[in-house]
Structure 1
Amino acid sequence: MSSPSLAQRLGAEFFGTAFLLATVIGSGIMGARLAAGNVALALLANTIATGAILVVLITMLGPISGAHFNPAVTAVFALRREIRASEAVRYVIAQIAGGLVGVLSAHVMFEQSLLQIATNVRTGPAQWFAEWLAAFGLVATILLTLRASRVSVATSVGLYITAAYWFTASTSFANPAVTIARALSDTFAGIRPADVPPFVAAQMVGAVMALYVCRWLLAEQHRKVPEPGAAATV
């Protein structure tokens, strides 16, 4: 069976990120409408939908493009030399474009104004650290699960994001494309454009640091093999 073409891989990244953002924004709108002011319930609805769609998208599109849907993840695989730099740039463009289409799709479905600018304030050192941690954990989940059980990556990522929505102060954006797209939706899941750059910076730093920590964790330990008959020491 031949490998997917670059166009097919870019298409998978575009459509995957579009569906991811349609889910994030759409479930946020639906949750806020049905929760009658209960923010915790709205966040729970947003969380479950996002974790679930990630499992679906990674399972079905992973064999085509690797199912990054995230510039930070693409950067990590470029640093691992598993994707060429020129292709990584195209992946990122496809992801950002897909994210924007996903946001617009959610607005259409819920009869929202098509073009919006978010006003939700998400800023400060605690939020930035939360995004660093969220991205670090996401990349660690991907890389360590790839080594432990490749078939479990989709489930592990979905479960990680489900948990991180609740244990991080920022509700775990952990994705520059998602962050940029959410700035264009003044709904439950939005983020003020002025708050986007530090979020993205924290995400990229967290992702790259996770790469090097995982390299250390997975490095082969070179142990001296005892000579035949020699006593082994602990």
Structure 2
Amino acid sequence: SLRARNTARCSVLASLEKANTVPELLSGLELATVPNAFMADSDLREHRMRLTHLLVTMIDDAMRHDKPLYELRAAFDIVDAADSHAVAADKIWSKMKATGRARLAELQAEERRKDERDAVGAPRELQPPAEYMCPITLEMMVDPVATSDGFVYEHEAIKRHFVLSRVSPMGGKLLEDRRLIRLHSMRAVIREWSEREHTRIMEQARLLHKQRAAPSKRSASKLNPHARLFVPNRLLPHTVDD
């Protein structure tokens, strides 16, 4: 009946008005968009916008350098569930999604490389040249930017610094112009260096493994030319030649 429809509609709208978190808004919007909810787009516009702003904040916070990778993964699990209810035309939302997904892909690729280095006994962390290190985080930069006084920092690190202070971290002077210039070429150079250094370390590890295995093979062949046929495979050192 019409009365029942209005009652259900008012109930959903009331729950949306009270919603202050992404899960609460998402739950309310899912109820509001079922076929028999009889909700107009105009009824939901404000709540979609609130959801969008909360998602932007969530991704921005998850991309902080002091946050673990799993938090960014978890944030995008929520994004995947909520994206259809967000305001697709919102430019800030579109940009934040693209930036966040690119950042997630980079972090996941680097995590895989760290695991590969760890598996061969190499240090997980690379030792980059000083010019690739952010003076705030003391870590290799992923998204380098330049300030008006010419110093280079990790984007998120300097952006958060300027929220608290107008003083240049390295220059020590007040910066009236706090615009940040993205250094796309430097970003590409750092990424290429990281990939090359990882390849070099892995090749070096494989070569060392091969060199260590070679004397054992020679010793076994001197004792018995056919010993290889009788030694269990699990005891044989694995080399590139095997």
Give the TM-score taking structure 2 as reference length. Answer: 0.28
User: Is the radius of gyration larger for structure 1 or structure 2?
Assistant: 2
| RCO higher in structure (CA 8 A, sep ≥6) | 1
